[in-house]
Amino acid sequence: MEATRSPMIHQPRTLGELSLLFQRIEHPLLWAGGTYLMSRSDFYPFPSKAQIVDLGRIEELKRISRTDRHIDIGAMVTTSSLLSAGKLVLPSILKSALGSIISHITRRQITIGGSVCEPESRMAFSTALAVLDAQAEIRKWDEGRFTAAWIPVNRLYDKRGALLLGKTPFVLTKIRLGLEWGDFQRFVLIDNPIRTPDTAILVAFQATRNQTALTKVRFSASFPKRAFHLSPELENQLSLLNLPIHPDRVNTISYEMAHDLMNRHESITEFQAERTRRVFESFLHELNIQTLS
């Protein structure tokens, strides 16, 4: 019975109280919405000495604020709350990504911080944030205190999509979005990333059109538990193009993108790469259509 005893649960109300808990607990398990932990088959039975820190009562982590330059989203804001509160201020690509979470129950549970810090796999929110140049405020626990730093969200992960923050205890407190977004934004999710990770893809794309010039292109693609793909080289190549792009050039660029994708990420399937290529190609064709209309 000792091995299955319920763990101790702490519920700090401020970041100051959280700091005190980090001083007392060597390896606290942070609990946000619980959707990741409760979906793991090995979560129970729970080690008897484990101590859970529930972040749900820290009001500072539930705030959404806006200035003339950026939007700050607290780590404990749920996807449901963000969609409701941010209809007029969120970029369309982010609303599309959040809206791809179909279950209303899941939307009420998934937190922004939990989604970004899920250790193994990138899903809709992280994929969209990667093309928005979003920043994450990370507070690392070092030598008895928290030290804060802003880190681009797309630098939090390795090429497999696994979290890179290492073994040092940390807390993500907020996500910051700038207010300058591209006027062409698309997010596509195909298949269920939880049930069918071998076929699912998540693709985000944004760009700014300046008359007939394409600028500030951003592109990301996620393959659950397999790969997290960014390509600054592709973005730079596209940012030098004029619109409309010749159909032959569109075809060439899309196949080059797929070839690069397969070379960098051997774990994804050819089917996933081809799906991504076709989605990517559709974005370029749509840009052409809008330019000519």
For 44, the domain range is: 2-54
Looking at 130, 162, 178, which one is the last position of a domain? 178
Half-sphere exposure of 179 (CA within 13 A, CB side): 11
> Which tops the pLDDT comparison, 7 or 132?
132
For the whole model, what pTM was predicted? 0.89
Looking at 150, 178, 206, which one is the last position of a domain? 178
90 and 150 housed in the same domain = yes
37 band by pLDDT with thresholds 50, 70 and 90: low
110 and 39 housed in the same domain = no
Residue type, 228: F
Eight-state DSSP code of residue 239: T
Q: What is the pLDDT of residue 280?
A: 98
User: What is d(CA 179, CA 146) in angstroms, rounded to the nearest whole number?
Assistant: 28
Q: Counting Cβ atoms within 10 Å, is residue 148 exposed (0-12), middle (13-18) or buried (19+)? A: exposed
117 and 210 housed in the same domain = no
**Range of lowest pLDDT (28-42, 145-159, 246-260):** 28-42
What CATH number is associated with residue 159?
3.30.465.10
Q: Are 284 and 245 spatial neighbours (Cβ–Cβ below 8 Å)?
A: yes
| 51: β partners | 8
Q: Which among 60, 77, 53 is positioned nearest to 14, based on CA atoms?
A: 60
Q: Which are the contacts of 155, defined by CB distance < 8 A and separation ≥ 6?
A: 164
